[in-house]
Amino acid sequence: MEPVPGNNSTGSAPTGVNDRIRFSFSLNQAGNYAVYARFRSNGGSNDSFWVRSNNGTWVKFNSLNSGGGFSWIQVYDSDNGQQPVTFNMNAGVNTLDLAYREDGTHLDKIYITATGSLPSGLGQSASNCVPPAYLTANPSSLSYTDAGGSQNVSLAANVSWTATANEGWLSVLPASGSSDGTITITTAANNSINGRTGSVTASGGGLSAIIAVSQAGVPCTLSATATATAVSCAGGADGTAAANI
């Protein structure tokens, strides 16, 4: 968490929902809990947050001298001699809000505990640090000759996915996967003089990646004599056209 440069609210906590970050979490037991923050500040005029629990009174968490690097400290009340604060939490779902007070203060992680001590290093693994889902295809378009054939597409994904083709002359294998993978897209021969298009869609986790497919038609050949021109299209009809050559 890093406040937008110029966002400062030193007199009181900002009131907008976009001016804070809210953590929702569940506890098995009600009680008083300490909150530790891993933070970094870049100077004495950029070293504070506002903190509250369950929509309670905001606590001014000021003078967070981190020495330029990230460090852990228990949330304290700057208006009460920097006395460490414990927050009364409920059994079940609780919320913890942190709002900007001075820009330039960076928050990396919080640790909430009824019995634990000050964390060290990076602290414990966070339960809510889930990377955003992604699903992409490379390349995102393929071209085939009239003869058809197979080409590979690489999928980058951290979700389970399925792959489907929207035309009968298209096929894709494998039809599903659970992470990064390669799919093979095959087109049947096109016996028409007209080109055609289709697509293969990989979808999963609310995301989709579409691979556009185009295939050329059968080429026409042109031959000429002194009196006529013959046009021949494989898969189509032959014909002659009178010409003065």
pLDDT one-digit tens code per residue, 85-100: 899 999 999 999 988 7
Q: Which has more pLDDT, 5 or 169?
A: 169
Phi, psi angles (nearest 5°) of residue 165: -105, 150
Rounded-to-integer distance, Cα 227 and Cα 224, Å? 8
pLDDT digits (tens, 9 = 90+) for 101-140: 766 677 788 899 998 788 887 777 776 666 788 999 999 9
What fold does the segment set 17-113 form as a domain?
A: Jelly Rolls (2.60.120)
| Domain limits, the chain | 17-113, 135-215
Rounded-to-integer distance, Cα 64 and Cα 39, Å? 8
User: Given this model, what pLDDT does residue 119 score?
Assistant: 80
Rounded-to-integer distance, Cα 26 and Cα 111, Å? 13
pLDDT digits (tens, 9 = 90+) for 31-69: 999 999 887 776 555 667 888 999 999 988 876 665 667
Superfamily of domain 135-215 in the CATH hierarchy: Immunoglobulins (2.60.40.10)
User: Given this model, what pLDDT does residue 3 score?
Assistant: 43
Rounded to an integer, the average pLDDT of 225-244 is 51
